[in-house]
């Protein structure tokens, strides 16, 4: 009976402590570490980084009132560089009013609709990308630190299941590429660990700024899997899982990726 009791004790101890890391902290590598010298140089220099154009646009939107709105963002939050410092490191996050996990885009649109009396901005629109990039840029250099405890944990569990499940006609999971084969070559590119710390990012293939959700949907398209619509709960939950998986990595927004 002692081995059985010991196993029960260990199982209880396991569930009562924080989830083990998917990747040990000393092995975490941002996607920029796998990029070529040209991409790394472009991201590092704000004068060359195309994503800074969205930061500038976001700053202009932050200080202006949308048509018919009661407030501008700055009326409540003052300068984004100060008031938003650290915010993006905690998203996605559980929202009690919504009853689900929300990402920064959800939070921005919720504030616009509920407090500013302004219409929600479409996903992947330049204005929403600009505001999200501005807010994330205010936390550049700070480590990812999302909360997966409490009601957010069920969302995290669903996303972890999604991450390790095989999808699409190619029967691949996220882990097949970004855990089992990270660092290996796929045609002309090196497979990264697939972290979320640079998004929204400017992707050279797109020639524009895009969200992490756009990149996730592109991955699903690449393995010929069904793509959830933009803003779908399963994509927001997957964002949460990826942010947790990269806990401790510094935010790089706006990142640059091939």
For this structure, is 219 an active site residue? Answer: yes
Q: How many CB atoms lie within 10 A of CB 35?
A: 21
**Among the options 73, 174, 177, 219, which is catalytic?**
219
Cis status of the peptide bond prior to 192, with omega within 30 of 0: no
Using alpha carbons, select from 48, 229, 56, 204 the residue that is nearest to residue 126: 56
CA distance linking residue 104 with residue 58, whole number of Å: 14
Phi, then psi, of 102 in degrees rounded to 5: -125, 155
CA distance linking residue 122 with residue 195, whole number of Å: 24
Q: Are 196 and 239 in contact (CB under 8 A)?
A: yes
CA distance linking residue 211 with residue 107, whole number of Å: 15
Residues annotated as catalytic (active site), given as ranges: 219
């Amino acid at each position: 009976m002692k081995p059985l009791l010991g196993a029960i004790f260990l199982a209880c101890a396991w569930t009562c402590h924080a989830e083990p890391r998917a990747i040990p902290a000393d092995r975490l590598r941002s996607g920029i570490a796998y990029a070529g010298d040209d991409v790394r140089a472009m991201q590092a220099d704000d004068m060359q980084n195309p994503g800074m154009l969205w930061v500038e646009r976001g700053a202009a939107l932050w200080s202006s009132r949308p048509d018919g709105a009661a407030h501008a963002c700055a009326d409540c939050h003052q300068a984004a560089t100060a008031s938003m410092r650290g915010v993006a490191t905690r998203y996605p996050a559980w929202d009690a009013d919504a009853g689900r996990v929300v990402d920064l885009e959800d939070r921005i649109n919720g504030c616009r609709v509920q407090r500013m009396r302004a219409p929600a901005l479409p996903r992947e629109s330049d204005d929403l990308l600009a505001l999200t990039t501005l807010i994330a840029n205010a936390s550049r250099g700070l480590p990812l630190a999302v909360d997966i405890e409490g009601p957010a944990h069920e969302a995290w569990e669903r996303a972890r299941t999604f991450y390790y499940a095989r999808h699409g006609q190619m029967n691949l999971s996220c882990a097949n590429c970004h855990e089992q084969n990270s660092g290996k070559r796929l045609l002309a590119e090196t497979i990264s660990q697939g972290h979320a710390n640079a998004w929204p990012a400017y992707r050279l293939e797109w020639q524009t700024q895009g969200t992490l959700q756009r990149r996730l949907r592109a991955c699903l398209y690449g393995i010929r899997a069904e793509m959830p619509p933009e803003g779908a709960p399963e994509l927001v939950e997957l964002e949460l899982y990826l942010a947790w998986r990269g806990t401790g990595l510094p935010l790089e927004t706006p990142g640059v990726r091939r």
